Amino acid sequence: MPPGPRKGHRFDIGDIVRAHRAELDATVGLSREQRRVLTDIAQCRTAALGGHLDRCDGCGFEHPSYNSCRNRHCPKCQALAQEKWIAEQRLRMLDGRYFHVVFTLPSELRALAAFAPRTLYDALLHVAGRILLEFGRRRLKAEIGATLVLHTWTRALAFHPHVHAIVTAGGLALDGVTLRSSSRAFLFPIKAMARVLRGKMIDALKDAHRRGAFAGFDDFVDPDGFARLLRTIAKLPWVVYAKPSFAKGVHVISYLGRYTHRVAISNSRLLDVTPNAITFRTKGDGIEVLHPVAFLRRFVRHVLPHGFHKIRHVGLHASAEKRQRVRALTGAPAVNPPSPPKPYPTRLLELTGRDVTRCRVCSGSLTPIALPRGPPLGGA
């Protein structure tokens, strides 16, 4: 297997893809999006994408630096994207308390979600947003704000679609001129939200079925298959979970950034990689051991449909005018637009402590020399 990754991690998912992509292709029918993601990860920070050669003006030391793939599923390309996103969210977040609410799709719908991911994911995000807004209007008599993020995995890479929502603990009263707040320990009753989630999702599934969104799904070849599934999920207790509130909105931004730009697994969770086994950390002290092809099969299940927006803003978080009204009512200072982005070397230094402008041998200044793209690694 090729050498492990740079930047402090012993192992790299890109190495796993390069070593076992052909075997995966021979055993699994991959979608176009999945093939593109694997190709990008395999090529990320390799000669295939080109880059530059850093040459020290003092000692002559040379070190190649290759370009990133910038794919949103790549574990090596999220840190700087997360930092940029967090800076932009300062305009959206309000300086008050927030709750973290999670809406989960029951396991009985996972096969259908894997077959029609765009339909199920979009429905779950849309329904979760509607529930939060409706509960805010009915129970708080206010318009609240929320940012929702879709995740599809567990720490063991199992398929588990769910939505994380960061929700304001109150909002702009329906009269538009006063503010209302929830209690510190309680936003909305989770059992009531779970019942509404079940009902609205069933309605969304019926609508999608009428539109033919599930044509070709094996379980629905039986004419009673769809109705039978609805009867099953209608009897289930659906799950909504709420965590305690945050004290200040400023703390929510960095917390939320970890959710928005998290990928199914990071390089830091890889504990051991051999030609026949991938060992990675799961929850707490737990570990999982998988054959490399089985590992990649789990990984590609979490590739999102092309162009799908996994982050949604609703209520106050979707209205700059209403957020400004809330800030005026609370006496909060206006939020200035984010500063122009800092140069890449500066951002990398602040984020990782690594100064890519100085020689690692003598700390002398480096002169970059462009490197052309090399031959592609693997097919798209």
Residue 216 has pLDDT above 60, yes or no: yes
Residue type, 63: H
Please tell me the distance from the alpha carbon of residue 361 to that of residue 95, in angstroms, as a whole number. Answer: 46
Average pLDDT value for residue range 2-12: 56
Residue 14, classed as helix, strand or coil, is: helix
Average pLDDT value for residue range 207-230: 97
**Number of folded domains in the chain?**
2
* Cα 236–chain centre separation: 27
Read off the pLDDT band of 262 (50, 70, 90): confident
* One domain, residues 144 and 242: yes
* Cα 253–chain centre separation: 14
* One domain, residues 176 and 221: yes
Residue recorded with tokens 């059992």:
191
Residue 1 has pLDDT above 90, yes or no: no
Contacts of residues 283-288 at CB distance under 8 Å and 24 or more positions apart, as own/partner, are 283/154, 283/155, 283/156, 286/155, 286/156, 288/156, 288/157
* One domain, residues 185 and 314: yes
The two three-digit tokens of residue 359, written as one number:
């020689």
Does 377 reside within a domain? Answer: no
Residue 186 confidence (pLDDT): 87
* One domain, residues 69 and 86: no
Give 10 or 178, the one with higher predicted confidence: 178
**In the 8-state DSSP scheme, what is residue 263?**
-
Residue 245 confidence (pLDDT): 66
* One domain, residues 89 and 44: no
Give the global pTM: 0.88
Residue 351 confidence (pLDDT): 65
Residue 6 confidence (pLDDT): 40
Locate the DSSP E strands across the chain.
51-56, 62-66, 98-104, 142-143, 145-153, 159-168, 170-173, 179-181, 239-246, 270-274, 277-281, 287-290, 311-315, 366-371
Give 296 or 257, the one with higher predicted confidence: 296
Read off the pLDDT band of 376 (50, 70, 90): confident
Does 294 reside within a domain? Answer: no
Could you give the residue ranges of the DSSP H alpha helices within 136-210?
190-210
* One domain, residues 104 and 145: yes
Give 87 or 122, the one with higher predicted confidence: 122
Please tell me the distance from the alpha carbon of residue 309 to that of residue 125, in angstroms, as a whole number. Answer: 10
Does 8 reside within a domain? Answer: no
Residue 338 confidence (pLDDT): 62
Residue 235, classed as helix, strand or coil, is: coil
Does 293 reside within a domain? Answer: no
Does 216 reside within a domain? Answer: yes
Does 186 reside within a domain? Answer: yes
Residue 183 confidence (pLDDT): 86
Residue 284 has pLDDT above 50, yes or no: yes
Average pLDDT value for residue range 24-46: 96
Average pLDDT value for residue range 6-25: 86
Residue 91 has pLDDT above 50, yes or no: yes
What domain range includes position 26? 13-73+340-371
Give 234 or 353, the one with higher predicted confidence: 234
Residue 88 confidence (pLDDT): 72
Read off the pLDDT band of 9 (50, 70, 90): low
Q: 193 near 239, Cβ under 8 Å? A: no
CA distances from 24 to 35, 202, 277, 300 (A): 10, 35, 14, 10
* One domain, residues 88 and 216: yes
Q: How many residues does the chain have?
A: 380
Does 40 reside within a domain? Answer: yes
Please tell me the distance from the alpha carbon of residue 71 to that of residue 74, in angstroms, as a whole number. Answer: 5
145-195 residue pLDDT tens: 999 999 999 999 999 999 999 999 999 999 999 999 998 888 999 999 999
Q: What percent of the chain has pLDDT over 70?
A: 90
Does 98 reside within a domain? Answer: yes
* One domain, residues 83 and 214: yes
Please tell me the distance from the alpha carbon of residue 225 to that of residue 220, in angstroms, as a whole number. Answer: 5
Residue 7 confidence (pLDDT): 46
- Residue from 119, 308, 121 nearest 214 by CA: 119
Three-class DSSP labels, 354-367: CCCCECCCCCCEEE
Q: 70 near 76, Cβ under 8 Å? A: no
* One domain, residues 63 and 168: no
Measured in degrees and rounded to the nearest 5, phi and psi for residue 232 equal -65, -50
Residue 292 has pLDDT above 50, yes or no: yes
Range with the lowest mean pLDDT among 4-13, 83-92, 267-276?
4-13
Residue 360 confidence (pLDDT): 87
301-319 residue pLDDT tens: 999 999 999 999 999 999 9
Residue 2 confidence (pLDDT): 36
* One domain, residues 310 and 360: no
Residue 92 confidence (pLDDT): 78
CA distances from 272 to 9, 18, 73, 221, 294 (A): 11, 16, 21, 43, 15
Asked whether the CA dihedral 322, 125, 281, 42 is positive or negative, the reply is: negative
Residue type, 147: T
Three-class DSSP labels, 99-123: EEEEEECCHHHHHHHHHCHHHHHHH
* One domain, residues 100 and 32: no
Give 135 or 328, the one with higher predicted confidence: 135
Among left, alpha and beta (phi > 0; psi -120 to 50; other), residue 354 is: beta
* One domain, residues 32 and 144: no
Please tell me the distance from the alpha carbon of residue 96 to that of residue 93, in angstroms, as a whole number. Answer: 9
Read off the pLDDT band of 380 (50, 70, 90): low
Range with the lowest mean pLDDT among 88-102, 220-234, 294-308?
88-102
Q: What angle do CA 182, 184, 187 make, to 5 degrees?
A: 45
Residue 8 has pLDDT above 60, yes or no: no
The two three-digit tokens of residue 266, written as one number:
């990071």
